[in-house]
Structure 1
Amino acid sequence: MKVSPWKLHHKSLVCLGSLSVLAVFFVAVIIAPQASTQLFNDIKDTISVHFSWFYMGSVALFMAILAYCAFSSAGNIKLGQPGDRPEFSYFSWGAMLFSTGMGIGLVFFGVAEPVMHYMSPPVVDAQSDVAVRDAINITFFHWGVNAWAIYTIVALVISYSAYRKGLPIEMRSALYPVLGDKIHGPIGQFVDIFAVLATVVGIVTPLGFGVQQINAGLEYVFGFEQSIDHQILLIAIIGFVTCISLILGLKRGIKLLSVVNIAVAIALMLYVFLVSESTYILNSTIENVGNYLTSFIPLTFETYSYSNPDWFYGWTLFYWAWWIAFAAPTGLFIARISKGRTIREFVVGVLVIPVGFSIAWITVFGNSAIDLIHNQGVTELGTAVMENSSTALFKFFEVLSEWNIASYLALFSIFVFFITTSDSGTLVINTLTSEQQENAPVYQRVFWVVAISVITIMLLQSGGMGAIQSVLVILGCPFAVIVTVMCIGFMKDIFQQAKATEALKLSHERYASDKIS
């Protein structure tokens, strides 16, 4: 396939521009980690205080657009040509959605977050019966429909531009209805460079903190001492396996790992369900879903302005900014694996499959953990979680049963989740910076994995991870603006297509009426 000159020029500029900005930025953070952390924390706090309304309003807007797309005639539009069929089965598709989206976070926080909200809730009395209910409900909210709506809207708009308009699977393509051919100029280059930066930071942040958590888990389970040297070793292993997966390609790499990991995650859930108070979990599931459905809309607009704004800034707003910033790589990857599905099938699938799995995971692990503390008096679990959330899951398995294999499976699952997250993110970077997109030369695929691994190692050694975490949150603000503009263009196209379809329908009806006459 021949590549047009402007595309070659665009890819070169995006690659060189991204590398230049990354080099300057990370060198500054590594040289002055404390000053950088303070600066970015101040910026993050300023955005939190003055723009929290924008984050919450944006997510509400995204959900309204998705609801319209799912329940209106727009849902019948296929993301592709009439003869296109989905590339992956529902199970493989759903496995990749979850594994590359929020899977790694849920494994860590499925126990820790509900317990933390129970021990230190935003408004109700700590460790009360009401705190039990609210702890699960808040966790549902943070990992549920609102969070996945952010990923879904980005992926949908990019998919529509790529598979309906024939544009590349790139962030700038989604702005075509608003900017037209200007996306092929500096504006498009800026948007794609921004997407590369968000993707790199989005990989480095969980990788840096994640290896610390894996190291903590290995120490807890095997006595594998926590140290920078061991964390560097873990990063090297993750990078090596990621390279192999990227070289194997999407179907033999990410897909296979995702399917295996989902099978392991389901096995862990079944184990906890059977070993815990199963009847309690089943009863809790019904009540949890009911509470979530009744509080879904109020929580969507809740900023805790009248009660506990500091808690809101540290939890809900942090999550929303994080999901929005990470929507660049996740949205592009979801778009890549979703060709051939209708808009309705896409929206319902991306929201229901991973959200349903998340609700099941949080209920099984979260309710079981709180039951141990609240009803069975295992207070040391609550204390351990508040002291070190990194080992919360392993402490939970320890007090739940003497069968250590659950901890081994959890460590394996965490490791594979990191691989799939890094793998999908690096695939997105290659899509944005290579002429061959996901089929980039092997040396380029390996280069980005090595670059990300080296950056993470240097940040760990210099103590700059706190600064990077704040940067990811900061990136969420401008990206929310970009996504809002993308949505405006998308809805403009959808309404125009609806008018054209209606006009064609009326034309056919008139023709049929005239023929009968």
Structure 2
Amino acid sequence: MEQSFNAHKKRVAIKSILILAIFIAFLFALPEKTGELFKFFQSWIGEKFGWFYMSSVAFFMLILAYCGFGRAGNLRLGKDNERPEHNFFAWGAMLFCTGMGIGLVFFGVAEPVMHYLSPPVLEGGTDEAVRKAINISYFHWGINAWAIYCIVALLISYAAYRKGRPIEMRSALYPLIGNRVDGWIGDFVDTFAVLATVVGIVTPLGFGVMQINSGLNYVMDVPQSLSVQLVLILFISLVTCASLILGLEKGIKRLSVFNICIAISLMLFVFVVGETSYILNATVENVGDYLANLIPLTFETYSLSNPQWFQGWTLLYWAWWIAFAAPTGLFIARISKGRTIREFILGVLIIPVGFSFAWFSIFGNTALDMIHNQGMSELGAAVMADSSTALFKFFDMFSGWTVIGYVVLLCIFVFFITTADSGTMVINILTSRHEDKAPKLERVFWVVLVSGITGVLLAVGGMSAIQSVLVVLGFPFALLVTIMCFGFVKSIALELNAEKKGSLGSQVDEPNSHTPSLDTKPQQEVPRFSQLG
């Protein structure tokens, strides 16, 4: 059994490395042709299957609503008497810092301003455009987006902690195909997850290094060049290796808590020093607009008004979230053992979504107030010219304090570390028999590989190509997760039915009645809820 398990992990690692090597070889030899090919597939998928992306996310939300507010919400991700491994604050910090944290810092000012100046169906620069800008930003970073992460994490957590399967992507297929997940089908699924994880790390790392370089140029006059970006990648890699060697508790967890405190401090600074009453009034309107338009926006493809905008914004986001759901979902599953399904769903949706809304409400509304009401049009021009410097330009005009720029740089840097940490941990889980406690050499190898790929992409100008790859990977992954959901619902229904029969049997006091447990562990280790006080 141990040899088979080791072979399974090695197969996934070898296949992943070979595919990545082939891709990088083609990209290095033919960067333009490779980029054009993936952009063609990105455009084709967006044109032909945009409806599927939107429908699948709506389907995921229905599954989560069914589990979160029904009897399934009482089931615990683990033994029935098990409790969470991490306290609520640390868990929430890791949820946010390993998901969308870095993207939120990048787009917190830039996206609302861009939607205000260039909205999908309205005239830019109007009062209505101000409201719609925040509403669209909420939608792209709100419940729909985190529902994608949540459903993947829930599928894996349920299979791992209720059914005794490993924390792997393939485990979510177990309710449908049984032990066949241990064969080539499972290898394909886990290899796909490794590839999606690598691409999911490389994409924000590459664009983020360029943002850090832009920030250093803005704050310290450091030149924007490939050599500076490569040095930054090397430095980030060294810190990531150190954090991974320290492990989950001493590395990622501490960095996540530290960085969420920095992010909260930046928000409080803008909230207190800025137009507080305007922010509060605007936020109330923003939340009301979002809730009123949530269902219409969930199914909006702009097919009759502005399909190009839809493909360049909403569809790109959905594909990005779905592709990145592999590493994020696996990591969330890793840190969520012991929570009930209801607590898990509400926590994963409310904590990061609430923080995202607060971030956009404070930074986005303040930026729009500066442009629309205070006439600081140069902020809008700067954002449209280079979105990577949006947050630095914002703080420069907001306070004029140079020190804030250094704090922003630190926040961005630590977000990159936690993103790279969590992604590399997921790769180790999928490719090492020691999982997240893989030997130091294995942890360092994957960091070096990811960093090397990022450096090559920056050198050959392939970042746009890797972004297209992420969108292309999102389509088959959305299809795969949709299939997994049917198996999950089936397994949940069987378990709840068995639980109900067990409860009825105990009520009529039939000493010989026995409902077999669906858990792979012995029944005495996982008592039924009807047996609990």
Normalised-by-shorter TM-score class? over 0.9
What is the letter of the counterpart of residue 184 of structure 2?
Answer: P
Structure 2 residue aligned with 1:422: 420
Structure 1 residue aligned with 2:319: 321
| Residue among 269, 272, 295 paired with 1:271 | 269
What is the letter of the counterpart of residue 83 of structure 2?
Answer: R
Structure 2 residue aligned with 1:39: 37
User: Structure 1 stretch 83-92 or stretch 257-266: which is displaced more?
Assistant: 83-92
What is the letter of the counterpart of residue 414 of structure 1?
Answer: I
1:177-192 correspondence to structure 2 within 5 Å: 177-192=175-190
Contact 1:79 1:164 in 2 (8 A): yes
| Residue among 37, 53, 62 paired with 2:51 | 53
Deviation (angstroms), 1:241:
0.3
Deviation (angstroms), 1:406:
1.6
Structure 1 residue aligned with 2:227: 229
Contact 1:333 1:428 in 2 (8 A): yes
- The answer to whether structure 1 residue 380 and structure 2 residue 378 are counterparts is yes
What is the letter of the counterpart of residue 211 of structure 1?
Answer: V
Structure 1 residue aligned with 2:487: 489
Structure 1 residue aligned with 2:524: none
| Residue among 230, 237, 240 paired with 1:239 | 237
What is the letter of the counterpart of residue 474 of structure 1?
Answer: V
Write the distance in 2 (CA, Å) between the matches of 1:364 and 1:512: 61
| Residue among 474, 478, 481 paired with 1:480 | 478
1:110-509 correspondence to structure 2 within 5 Å: 110-509=108-507
Structure 2 residue aligned with 1:64: 62
Deviation (angstroms), 1:371:
0.2
Deviation (angstroms), 1:397:
0.5
**Secondary structure of 1:264 counterpart:** helix
Deviation (angstroms), 1:306:
1.5
Write the distance in 1 (CA, Å) between the matches of 2:505 and 2:431: 45
Structure 1 residue aligned with 2:514: none
Write the distance in 2 (CA, Å) between the matches of 1:430 and 1:250: 13
Write the distance in 2 (CA, Å) between the matches of 1:476 and 1:402: 41
**Secondary structure of 1:302 counterpart:** coil
Write the distance in 2 (CA, Å) between the matches of 1:247 and 1:278: 43
Write the distance in 1 (CA, Å) between the matches of 2:140 and 2:463: 23
What is the letter of the counterpart of residue 210 of structure 2?
Answer: Q
Write the distance in 2 (CA, Å) between the matches of 1:59 and 1:4: 38
Write the distance in 1 (CA, Å) between the matches of 2:359 and 2:472: 29
Mark the runs of 5 or more structure 2 residues left unpaired by the alignment: 512-533
Write the distance in 1 (CA, Å) between the matches of 2:166 and 2:89: 26
Contact 1:62 1:149 in 2 (8 A): yes
Q: After TM superposition, where is structure 1 displaced by more than 3 Å over at least 4 residues in a row?
A: none
Write the distance in 2 (CA, Å) between the matches of 1:434 and 1:280: 52
| Residue among 7, 22, 25 paired with 2:20 | 22
Deviation (angstroms), 1:512:
8.3
What is the letter of the counterpart of residue 100 of structure 2?
Answer: M
Contact 1:275 1:400 in 2 (8 A): no
Write the distance in 2 (CA, Å) between the matches of 1:512 and 1:495: 24
**Secondary structure of 1:146 counterpart:** helix
Write the distance in 2 (CA, Å) between the matches of 1:147 and 1:155: 13
What is the letter of the counterpart of residue 234 of structure 1?
Answer: L
What is the letter of the counterpart of residue 244 of structure 1?
Answer: A
- TM-score of the two chains, using structure 2 as the length reference: 0.95
What is the letter of the counterpart of residue 431 of structure 1?
Answer: I
Write the distance in 1 (CA, Å) between the matches of 2:63 and 2:355: 23
Structure 2 residue aligned with 1:87: 85
Contact 1:29 1:36 in 2 (8 A): yes
Write the distance in 2 (CA, Å) between the matches of 1:94 and 1:406: 25
Percent identity over the alignment?
63
Write the distance in 2 (CA, Å) between the matches of 1:383 and 1:229: 28
**Secondary structure of 2:166 counterpart:** coil
Deviation (angstroms), 1:133:
0.3
- TM-score of the two chains, using structure 1 as the length reference: 0.98
What is the letter of the counterpart of residue 307 of structure 1?
Answer: S
Deviation string 1:290-330 (CA, Å, 9 cap, x unpaired) is 11111111100000112111100000000000000000000
Aligned residues: 511
What is the letter of the counterpart of residue 132 of structure 2?
Answer: D
**Secondary structure of 2:368 counterpart:** helix
| RMSD, matched Cα | 1.0
Deviation (angstroms), 1:30:
1.4
Contact 1:6 1:184 in 2 (8 A): no
**Secondary structure of 2:509 counterpart:** helix
